[in-house]
């Protein structure tokens, strides 16, 4: 084959791959957002079958040969070379798994999600436990086919965040543990900031009305985006001009849907901002899960909780909820939005206690994979760890072990990327503030220009480079968690007038 023929063959294969991938993505989005429960079994069986069809494409031995060749070929287009390398890695992870096992795995994940949802509705972990047990066992089985020297958990961690291992995450979390628990203690001992206004009754129709304004403010343009509703908010994209987020409204919380929307739109902006030429390929996916979370968490916390953001948004929210907010000053509202208080639910957590929520999940995942923790009684383990790390009493499975859907969906080893990404974000934010007047842009409704900085420095490259390259490129230095720790220390010292 000539160079052109090889490139043609690769791009034809990528197209076919992308068609199946898109179909499964739409089926999943549909299932999460609108499909009635009655069709679950029917749809899940067929979606699992189609995953098998995609599996056969992804692990096609002829393509593996070609990819192996292309990834080491310095003559071909460097984008194709990078894609080949990534597709090859993926193929090698799949080709060792028997197809029928893979299809069973997909079926199990669908079933497990259904039972998680049911268990969460009923706030009863015992409904979900047998499926979680199966998911973990089968995840192990699937990883073990690779016959790698790395532990199963290290392989999972590195699937989500290339290069990361338990050892490296331990170091990272130790760095956080050296500062955050102390800071939490000081905040807890300080004079509380009143945030009761956040937890009044905010009628959901009103919240939806404000949501339209917020999506406008975020420049979340309907020509390339869509927002649905789900039990657990998430983001997905069919292509760079079809990015979807979901949100969830809580009647007794003014900011939950708002900050979750700003978070999910951060993911969506990332996908939308990737270079056009990567659309439909593995390079659209972004550097890593940690890098994706860095963008969403940056939006949620570093932008969405800022004074400048609310200078623009608070008057609009106030107009919709005059009874609740009419007498509240901007300063008091922003303070309330930034209160730190140990709590039960990760997605509602403030920036300071958030890493502790992740740490708990990370410790549990470690235990599940090294055999020191079992799914039986995991609700109790969960509750004990919340008591230990955050000092709170978990009163229901719904707000305890069942709050997140990640494990139900087979995303084991994903959680640590949230904390890592949040720390990446601190470093990006530090640099961004040196280069553009973020507050001025947020204040004046130029959220798109803030996204522009992220696009130029990070998002534009898609998955073309790795996380180390991107961090170095965007900030001029390697990743350093001190930016995150400094940010938290500075922020909460000021907010709570600490020593």
From CA 386, how far away is CA 356, in angstroms rounded? 9
Q: Which is nearer to a copy of itself, 145 or 226 (CB)?
A: 226
Contact 386, 392 (CB under 8 A): yes
Question: Which range binds a copy of itself by CB under 8 A, 46-54, 80-88, 439-447, 465-473?
Answer: 46-54
Torsions phi, psi of 256, nearest 5? Answer: -60, -55
Q: Which of 211, 224, 436, 480 binds a copy of itself (CB under 8 A)?
A: 224
Residues 232-291 that bind a copy of itself (CB under 8 A): 238-239, 241-244, 279-280
Residue 8 has which token pair?
């043609």
Residue 23 has which token pair?
């179909």
Q: Identify whether 365 is a catalytic site residue.
A: no
From CA 419, how far away is CA 425, in angstroms rounded? 10
Contact 403, 361 (CB under 8 A): no
| Shortest spacing between CB 94 and a copy of itself, in angstroms | 20
Question: Which range binds a copy of itself by CB under 8 A, 39-47, 287-295, 355-363, 487-495?
Answer: 39-47
- How many whole angstroms from its chain centre is CA 390? 22
From CA 266, how far away is CA 296, in angstroms rounded? 4
β-strand partners of 247: 229
Question: Which range binds a copy of itself by CB under 8 A, 13-21, 148-156, 317-325, 372-380?
Answer: 13-21
Q: Who's near 65: CB < 8 A, 6+ residues apart?
A: none
Q: Which is nearer to a copy of itself, 30 or 213 (CB)?
A: 30
| Shortest spacing between CB 13 and a copy of itself, in angstroms | 12
Q: Which of 4, 222, 371, 499 binds a copy of itself (CB under 8 A)?
A: 222
Q: How many positions of this chain bind a copy of itself (CB under 8 A)?
A: 40
Q: Which is nearer to a copy of itself, 29 or 484 (CB)?
A: 29
Q: Can residue 43 be called a binding residue for a copy of itself (CB under 8 A)?
A: yes
CA neighbor of 125 nearest in space, from 402, 411, 403: 402
Q: Is 496 helix (H, G, I), strand (E, B) or coil?
A: coil
What's the order of all strands across the beta sheet hosting 235-239? 225-229, 242-247, 235-239
Residues 97-126 that bind a copy of itself (CB under 8 A): none
Q: Who's near 289: CB < 8 A, 6+ residues apart?
A: 160, 161, 414, 417, 421
Q: Which is nearer to a copy of itself, 227 or 306 (CB)?
A: 227
Q: Which of 3, 8, 46, 167 binds a copy of itself (CB under 8 A)?
A: 46
Name the strand (E) or helix (H) holding 225.
Answer: strand 225-229
Q: Which of 9, 50, 328, 406 binds a copy of itself (CB under 8 A)?
A: 50
| Shortest spacing between CB 405 and a copy of itself, in angstroms | 20
CA neighbor of 270 nearest in space, from 240, 226, 245: 240
| Shortest spacing between CB 185 and a copy of itself, in angstroms | 47
Q: Is 208 helix (H, G, I), strand (E, B) or coil?
A: helix
| Shortest spacing between CB 466 and a copy of itself, in angstroms | 27
| Shortest spacing between CB 207 and a copy of itself, in angstroms | 14
**Buried (b) or exposed (e) across 267-291, using 16+ Cβ within 10 A?**
bbbbbbbbbeebbbbbbbbbbbbbb
Question: Which range binds a copy of itself by CB under 8 A, 40-48, 336-344, 365-373, 433-441?
Answer: 40-48
Q: Which is nearer to a copy of itself, 39 or 178 (CB)?
A: 39
Q: Which of 129, 161, 166, 264 is catalytic?
A: 264
Residue whose entry in the numeric block shows the structure tokens 């692990």: 59
| Shortest spacing between CB 334 and a copy of itself, in angstroms | 32
Q: Which of 26, 175, 211, 316 binds a copy of itself (CB under 8 A)?
A: 26
Helix ranges (H only) for 123-235 are: 125-144, 152-160, 166-177, 180-189, 204-217
Q: Which of 10, 27, 70, 378 binds a copy of itself (CB under 8 A)?
A: 27
Long-range contacts of 89-92 (CB under 8 A, 24+ apart): 90/58, 90/282, 91/58, 91/59, 91/60, 91/63, 91/64, 91/67, 92/64, 92/146
Q: Can residue 137 be called a binding residue for a copy of itself (CB under 8 A)?
A: no
| Shortest spacing between CB 25 and a copy of itself, in angstroms | 10
Name the strand (E) or helix (H) holding 471.
Answer: helix 467-475
Q: Which is nearer to a copy of itself, 191 or 222 (CB)?
A: 222
Q: How many CB atoms within 10 Å of residue 4? A: 9
- How many whole angstroms from its chain centre is CA 191? 33
Q: x/- site string to a copy of itself, residues 163 to 202, per CB under 8 A?
A: ----------------------------------------
Q: Which of 1, 3, 34, 445 binds a copy of itself (CB under 8 A)?
A: 34
Please give the positions annotated as active site.
Answer: 264
- Contact positions vs a copy of itself (CB under 8 A): 15-16, 18-20, 22-24, 26-27, 29-30, 33-39, 42-43, 46-47, 49-50, 205, 222-226, 228, 238-239, 241-244, 279-280
């Amino acid at each position: 084959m000539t160079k052109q023929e090889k490139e043609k063959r690769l791009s034809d294969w990528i197209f076919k791959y992308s068609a199946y991938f898109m179909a499964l993505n739409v089926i999943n989005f549909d299932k999460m957002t609108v499909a009635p429960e009655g069709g679950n079994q029917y749809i899940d069986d067929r979606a699992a079958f189609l995953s098998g069809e995609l599996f056969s494409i992804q692990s096609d031995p002829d393509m593996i040969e070609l990819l192996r060749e292309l990834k080491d070929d310095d003559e071909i287009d460097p984008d194709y070379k990078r894609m080949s390398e990534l597709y090859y890695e993926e193929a090698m992870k799949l080709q060792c798994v028997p197809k029928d096992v893979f299809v069973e795995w997909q079926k199990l994940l669908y079933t497990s999600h259904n039972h998680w949802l049911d268990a969460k509705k009923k706030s009863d972990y015992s409904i979900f436990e047998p499926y979680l047990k199966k998911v973990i066992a089968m995840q192990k089985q699937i990883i073990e086919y690779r016959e790698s020297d790395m532990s199963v958990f290290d392989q999972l961690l590195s699937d989500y965040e290339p290069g990361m291992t338990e050892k490296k995450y331990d170091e990272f979390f130790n760095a956080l543990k050296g500062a955050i628990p102390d800071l939490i203690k000081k905040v807890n001992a300080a004079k509380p900031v009143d945030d009761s206004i956040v937890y009044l009754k905010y009628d959901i129709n009103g919240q939806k009305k404000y949501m339209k304004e917020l999506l406008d403010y975020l420049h979340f343009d309907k020509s390339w985006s869509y927002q649905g509703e789900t039990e657990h908010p998430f983001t997905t994209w069919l292509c760079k001009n079809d990015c979807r987020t979901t949100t969830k409204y809580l009647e007794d919380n003014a900011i939950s849907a708002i900050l979750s929307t700003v978070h999910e739109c951060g993911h969506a902006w990332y996908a939308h901002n990737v270079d056009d030429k990567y659309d439909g390929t593995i390079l659209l996916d972004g550097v890593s899960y940690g890098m994706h979370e860095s963008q969403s968490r940056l939006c949620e916390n570093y932008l969405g909780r800022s004074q400048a953001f609310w200078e623009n948004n608070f008057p609009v929210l106030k107009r919709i909820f005059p009874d609740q907010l009419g007498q509240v000053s901007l300063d008091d509202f922003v303070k309330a939005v930034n209160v730190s208080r140990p709590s039960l639910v990760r997605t509602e957590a403030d920036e300071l206690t958030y890493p502790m929520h992740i740490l708990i999940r990370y410790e549990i995942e470690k235990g599940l994979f090294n055999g020191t923790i079992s799914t039986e009684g995991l609700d109790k383990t969960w509750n004990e760890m919340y008591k230990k790390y955050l000092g709170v009493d978990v009163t229901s499975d719904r707000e305890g072990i069942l709050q997140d859907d990640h494990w139900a969906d087979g995303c084991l080893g994903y959680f640590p990327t949230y904390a890592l990404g949040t720390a990446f974000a601190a470093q990006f934010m530090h640099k961004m503030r040196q280069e553009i007047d973020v507050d001025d842009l947020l204040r004046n409704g130029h959220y798109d220009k803030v996204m522009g900085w992220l696009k130029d420095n990070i998002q534009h490259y898609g998955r073309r480079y790795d996380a180390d390259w991107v961090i170095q490129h965007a900030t001029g230095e390697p990743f350093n968690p001190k930016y995150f720790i400094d940010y938290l220390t500075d922020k909460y010292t000021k907010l709570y007038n600490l020593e």
